[in-house]
Amino acid sequence: MKINRLQTSLFLVLIALLTVIALAACTTGSDQTTLVGPEWRLASTAGEAVPAEVSITATFGNDEVTGSSGCNSYSGPYKVDGDKIQFGPMVSTLMACDEPMMSWEGNYLKALQAAQNYTVSGNQLEITTGEGVLKFNSD
């Protein structure tokens, strides 16, 4: 009787382990369909490529976005309704940096406040603002 019970327990553990492995295999970064999760890197804004020396990022939690705006760290609330997105007031550290970082930072934070819609496709995020599109990539 002990052997049957042990075999049954091992069988159930094996099934659970295989289920976890199968579910993990189904999840890939290239199938990203939500904002939450990856670190998004700004690639361009209104068609202008972000210079290599400027690193602007966004990481979305369930109700807060955090990241680097080029020179400073920032965070703030956001709301999503379907494909619509709205950002609340952002808070930021107050370091001064050389150009072009400061200009890119100011324009980026201003653009977030004007955000209207967003789409996620694979490892690309686009946020449409009143003045153009913010295009992000994730690894």
| pLDDT at residue 116, as a whole number | 97
Per residue in 89-117, pLDDT tens? 999 999 999 999 999 999 999 999 999 99
Average pLDDT, the chain: 84
| pLDDT at residue 57, as a whole number | 98
* Average pLDDT for 55-69: 96
Q: Which helix (H) or strand (E) holds 51?
A: none
Pick the CATH number of 30-137 from 3.40.50.300, 3.40.50.20, 2.40.128.270, 2.60.120.260: 2.40.128.270
| pLDDT at residue 131, as a whole number | 84
| pLDDT at residue 33, as a whole number | 65
Count Cβ neighbours within 10 Å for each residue of 55-64 and write b for 16 or more, e otherwise.
Answer: bbbbbbeeee
